[in-house]
Each structure stands twice: as C-alpha cells, then as structure tokens.
Structure 1
C-alpha cells in the first residue's frame, strides 16, 4: 500500500537497513576514530582489505567515558598470531590515550572467511548490516541483502549452548573480583538480550540494536521471561560486579534460551575452532 511505513529497521522491500554512518559519529569521538584509522593503516598497510566501525559510536548513541570503540578489520589473507597481537596493542594504546572510550574491541578476519558461504548469514550479515565502512573497499557489495527471518536468526545466535560452558569457566576464573565481574556482566547481558531478540525477530519482523527495544520485543512473545531480559538489558548498559547475576545467566536464563532457540530455529551450522 502506498505510503505504508516499513517495519522498524527495514527498508520498503523488507530488507534490514544498514546501521550507522561516519556522519553520525559524535564530535567527541571523532579524534578517536581518526587515530584508529591512521594506526590501522600503519599496522597493516597493503595487507589491509577494509576496516569498519560498529556499535554505538557510528550509530551516534555513544556516551563519553562509558562506551567502547568497536572495530572490525578484514585482511586480504587469514590473520596470524602477530596480526592478533597487533590489534591488541593498537586497542590498548587507544584506550590509554583517549578518555572518551572505555575499552576497544577489535574483530579480525580474512576477507575470504567474511565472504564465505558458511558465514553469509552471520559474519557476512554483520558486515553488511551492522558495520560502517571506515577504510578500503566495502565487502557489503559482495553480499546479499538480508531479511529478519529464521535462517538469519539461526546462524547469528543459534550457538548459545556452546557458549555456556565457556562462560562458566570465565565466571569461575573471575572469582569475587568486582573489577573482573563487571565486564563479564556487560558482555553476557548483551549477548543474552540479543539472542532473546533474534529468537522473536522473525515474528516481530524488524530490526533494532537498542537493548531495551530488544527486550521489549522479546517480552511481547515471552511475557513469563520478560522481566529477566529487561533486567539484562539494563545491565548491558550499566553492569554490576556481582556473581549472582552471572550465575542466574548460566544456570537459568541461558539454558532456557538455548533450548527454546534450538526448538524454534534450530542450531547454528558448526564452525571450525
């Protein structure tokens, strides 16, 4: 029907719209982004195929002193250990130099993997829809357009059951240290909220990266678990450093969500270690 407004996050044809742009980067974070771009070129030179921003900074919602800088780097060949060490060092230097950010997270992959059939509905979708081009040729030109369907749901978050044993190990290693527990709460809260959202995404028929909106969408279809996901969304923005939150994730919410996800969408195709 002419004049009909597309569902949230979708274009008029029902495909997920790409998030973010360099124009939306808040003024306070522009020096960080410019320095990251220059240092990526220095670190990888001609081996760098492309680099991207993702997360709150290119969406324009980053908070000074609270948000991290999220980068995805695509090399022309598969990365080696020295490359991984280079991005770790780059992230540490940026985090120490710029008080605007609270940490740096960098994903590092080879071009071939990002464009592979196996990753088309996971990393490929991530690049095409959630990443903002910063350097090089945009890999999205070689990827399809994506709808919020069950295939996308399965291949993005259909592996929660595999993560839970690793999470338990990380929680045990953190002990009672609030400083060690707080980033775990933030990470696991965000992961669970996004998984809960993609569980209902095909029925909701839209896309959002806002954790609170994700939790509300989930609660529409699973009211008995709505309060848990709303609370996890808040911890995703304002994490606490208490072990009880994490135990509830790996003993209750996480296992339930993994089982329900497998029932509704199936299990994600296995990846190499």
Structure 2
C-alpha cells in the first residue's frame, strides 16, 4: 500500500489526494534521538514477544519538538489486550524516561491491543491515527491493514464528534486544579483539544490536513471569523499554557458548548465506544480521552 509522504503544498495530502502520513524517524531532531533509542529498547525489553508494534507521534517525529518543552508521545500495541499490570509497567517506563532525559517534558504512552486498533469501530479514529499520525518504531506497521483516508465528514465525525462528552470532565478538572501548575496542565489539554476540534469541523471544506495548531486555527477562522480570535488564542496557550481560570471557564462554558453543537449539526455524533485507557499523562494529539 502506498503511504507516500509526497504532499500537495499546504494541504497535507499525498499525490492521490489522501492524507499523507506525517513524521518519520529521519525527522527526529538530534537532541531527541537518545530518548527515542532508549524508549525503543525499553519497550521491546518490557513486552518482548507480546509486542505487536510501537510508534512515535507528535512533535518529535514531525521534527518540531522543543528541547525541555516537548513531551515524548508513544503508542504501544500488544498482540493481546493489555491488563492492569501492563499499564502499571508503562507508567513506570514513562516516569523513568522523563526523569532520565532533560530534553523532554514528560512522556505519554497509549497502550492498546491489536484487535481494538484494527476493529471496524475504530477504523476512522484509532485506525486513522495509526495510519496517518504515527511513525513506526518497532514491529509490523498496522497501517498496512488499514484504508487510506481523505479529509471528509466521516473522518471528522469519528475523530472529534464527541466534544460534548468532554465538557463536564473539563469543568471538573478546572474546579479541582490545586494550583497554577495544575491550571496550566488543564489549559494545555483543553486548548489543544478545542483547536483540533475546530479545525476538523472545517477540514472537509478546506480539503486538507495539518497538525500545526496555529495553522489549524487560521484555517478554522476562514470559515468562522466570528470565532476566530478565541480559537487563535487557544492555539497560542496550547503552546504556552497559562494559569487563567477565567479563560478556561470561557472554554468550558462558551467556546466548547458552541463548538460541540455546531460540530454535531455539521457532522453528527461520534459512534459510542469504550474510552481509550491510557497510562500516565494524556499524550497530546492522541484519541485518548482526557
């Protein structure tokens, strides 16, 4: 299957009009190569023959990671369904890598079973995530068993058509944040999710893909200029989180509810499914629920 990285300028599509896989091991910045090598070796040692595949995603394989600011995002797929002990082991792996390497600001790992990733229910969410946003690190590439993807309404619905479910959880997290650091963590999570949802709302009309939050906000603003500034602001604080409870309240009480309703009207609501159980911190840009 052709997973060409040749893209049309500014659209994130390959020469056939499908979303091109972003990132590659060749793009990993030199400063992050020791982290990636350690992660690869330790994941393999941890799971051995049970490991189906492992992937990088996010800023590190895209080549945009910032030293001391970016986290390392991993997807680990087992041949069988992971259990509680597996997630505990991955928690320990995350903590060890984070403590050892100053280049990264945390590690986030999704731990899943092969059957779920390749299930029909997940074809346009986890499947798309693997095929388009993940860079193979270990094992077989499950993208070979998945379709190619266009930036259409089905993809929009199944990736971000569940925003309404997040709003009550975000309100609880804002209320429970104990200090400024806690508020900044919530700010990073919520703002990124809002920007990505705003972008995928208009993605089918724009006809392309990008993972750059600033570009996502600008594309969205072309179609909804009246909401452009809040989403541009969310893109800014996604990169430089702030401890601003009032701003977060505006996201959960104004921007989020409008966006959820507009999204449902445009694309429908995502098919119900079990949430992705993740270890440690939520990896940015993954299908994991906050």
TM superposition score category, shorter chain reference: over 0.9
Aligned equivalents of 2:114 and 2:70: distance in 1?
Answer: 28
TM-score in terms of structure 1 length = 0.97
Aligned equivalents of 1:18 and 1:109: distance in 2?
Answer: 20
For residue 169 of structure 1, report the CA deviation from its aligned partner.
1.3
Q: Which residue of 1 aligns with 2:252?
A: 250
* 1:101-136 CA-partner distances (Å, limit 9, x unpaired): 001110111000000000000000000000000000
Quick check: 1:135 aligned with 2:135? no
Alignment of 1:190-209 (within 5 A): 190-209=192-211
* 1:43-65 CA-partner distances (Å, limit 9, x unpaired): 11111100000000000000000
Aligned equivalents of 1:220 and 1:57: distance in 2?
Answer: 29
SS across alignment from 1:154: helix
Structure 1: runs of 5+ lacking an equivalent: none
For residue 11 of structure 1, report the CA deviation from its aligned partner.
1.1
Q: Which residue of 1 aligns with 2:30?
A: 27
* 1:122-178 CA-partner distances (Å, limit 9, x unpaired): 000000000000000000000000000000000000000011111111112114x00
Aligned equivalents of 2:9 and 2:177: distance in 1?
Answer: 45
For residue 6 of structure 1, report the CA deviation from its aligned partner.
5.9
Quick check: 1:104 aligned with 2:107? yes
Aligned equivalents of 1:103 and 1:118: distance in 2?
Answer: 30
* 1:82-109 CA-partner distances (Å, limit 9, x unpaired): 1111111100111111000001110111
TM-score in terms of structure 2 length = 0.91
Select the residue among 148, 151, 154 that pairs with 1:151.
154
Conserved? CA contact 1:186–1:235, under 8 Å: yes
Conserved? CA contact 1:54–1:132, under 8 Å: yes
Conserved? CA contact 2:8–2:14, under 8 Å: no
Aligned equivalents of 1:161 and 1:23: distance in 2?
Answer: 38
Aligned equivalents of 1:61 and 1:132: distance in 2?
Answer: 14
For residue 272 of structure 1, report the CA deviation from its aligned partner.
2.5
Q: Which residue of 2 aligns with 1:11?
A: 14
Conserved? CA contact 1:67–1:102, under 8 Å: yes
Call closer, same or farther: CA 1:5–1:174 in 2, change over 3 Å: closer
Alignment of 1:62-81 (within 5 A): 62-81=65-84
Conserved? CA contact 1:158–1:265, under 8 Å: yes
Number of aligned residues: 269
Q: Which residue of 2 aligns with 1:160?
A: 163
Give runs of ≥4 in structure 1 deviating > 4 Å: 4-7
Which 10-residue stretch deviates more, 126-135 or 83-92?
83-92
SS across alignment from 1:118: helix
Conserved? CA contact 2:79–2:114, under 8 Å: yes
Aligned equivalents of 1:131 and 1:48: distance in 2?
Answer: 16
Call closer, same or farther: CA 1:29–1:5 in 2, change over 3 Å: closer
Select the residue among 223, 226, 230 that pairs with 2:225.
223
Q: Which residue of 1 aligns with 2:264?
A: 262
Q: Which residue of 2 aligns with 1:53?
A: 56
